[in-house]
Structure 1
Amino acid sequence: MASITCRVQFLEDSDPFICTNFPEPRRPPTVSLEENLPLSEQIAGIHKLLEAPLKLEECTLQLSPHGNYLDLDSSLAEQRDDLDGFYEDVG
């Protein structure tokens, strides 16, 4: 299986009126995502790695800097056409 290495970080944005919502951790760790596995099967590992404060059920993945939200029921390969330059950025 092909994997893609990405930097990951979380944004705790449950209160939109707080102006200090910065992504944590400051130095995003890298994670390898399996290109052909649904993201729903991989997000728990990312959540644990980041020690994110939100419940797993409240989390999703967003592609930065493009802002696209990823479909957790699909793999990266299935969403390739929607990932505007992502593969060029990681290649």
Structure 2
Amino acid sequence: MDQVTSIRPECLRPAADGWLQPTGPEIREVIERAGFTGSRAGKYLGIATQETGGCRQVRKWIAEDARIPYSAWALLCHAAGLGIIWVSEPV
């Protein structure tokens, strides 16, 4: 049985509205929800430099060896169906 990692609400906010950096497992979960492999996520974001073998930068984000930029995170969340997180909800 596959285990689903929950994504903290603080990770789904606009950057200027209290956004918190996602953890490696949260990044992996969003990539999987988008239906991407690490390599496909890198291509989607325009950062893949290898034809095969995955995307080194995506692996660093998942391993928490590097911080994921908000823009990359927001695009992955959108691809995963989590909404347009860079836009504040009307009050």
Whether TM exceeds 0.5 here: the answer is no
Instruction: Please identify which structure carries the higher strand content.
Output: 1
Instruction: Please identify which structure carries the higher helix content.
Output: 2
> When the two structures are superposed, what TM-score results if normalisation uses the length of structure 1?
0.28
